[in-house]
Amino acid sequence: YKGLTYSSNVMAAKLIKDTGVRPVISLVRSLGISTPIENDLTIALGSNGVKLSEMVVAYGAFANGGYKVKPYSVLKVETSRGKILYEAPKARIMKAISTETASGITQMLKTVIKEGTGRGANINKPAAGKSGTTDDYKDAWFVGYTPSVVTGVWVGNDDNTKMGGLTGGTVPAIIFRDVMRQATEPFGNEDFGYPDMLATKSGGRTVSQLTSPNVSPTKYRDDTDETAPTEDVVHVNSYQPQMNE
């Protein structure tokens, strides 16, 4: 997970090489990304532009137990006399990824804010997210979430000129922090309600597996801890998917 924590492009490229490009594109499509995507390894480096609104939908699935919610901008339109001219239909909720995948991604993205490139986005409550920066510094973004709120921030110049070294972990992360402190206030310090996760070490790698919610939690230790036992349990509460309309 440290490659993701510290935005290692090498790690991302090697991972896509191992899994194959087509499965990655298929997964991205299921999460709601509709923009054109190259069928090669360069997608690990962000070679294609993506709509911020679609990134927020995708990250929402990570927060929501793998369920993707189709967003809408207008809830209702009324006349001055209260006659309803338009009302948004009920939100469409679709299963995009497994609960196990959503839980694992969330655990990794939490470390981005705790100790990685997204430290500037820390809102002092459970949150996960990821920073992004184009090589020419024309685009910088941060997308993150708590169990109830997802926010995406993009920073760039209207004329698409360079921003002089500005990265996603700086201004976008700070904007995210300031917005989310207010937006999440009604929800208190809620944590992600995912099942326990069992991390089994095998050949120096960690293989995550969901376990029974009845398993007693133990202190989490990462792969670099030589004193850690073969199996560690990451306790994160009993999971209930958010199905609110």
Q: What is the pLDDT of residues 60-109, one digit of tens each?
A: 999 999 999 988 889 999 999 999 999 999 888 999 999 999 999 999 99
Burial label for 129, CB within 10 Å (0-12, 13-18, 19+), is buried
97 within 8 A of 26, measured Cβ to Cβ: no
Q: What is the pLDDT of residues 141-166, one digit of tens each?
A: 999 999 999 999 999 999 999 998 89
Show the tokens assigned to 13. 């490229």
113 within 8 A of 143, measured Cβ to Cβ: no
- Residues in a beta bridge with 153: 142
212 within 8 A of 205, measured Cβ to Cβ: no
Rounded to two decimals, the pTM is 0.77
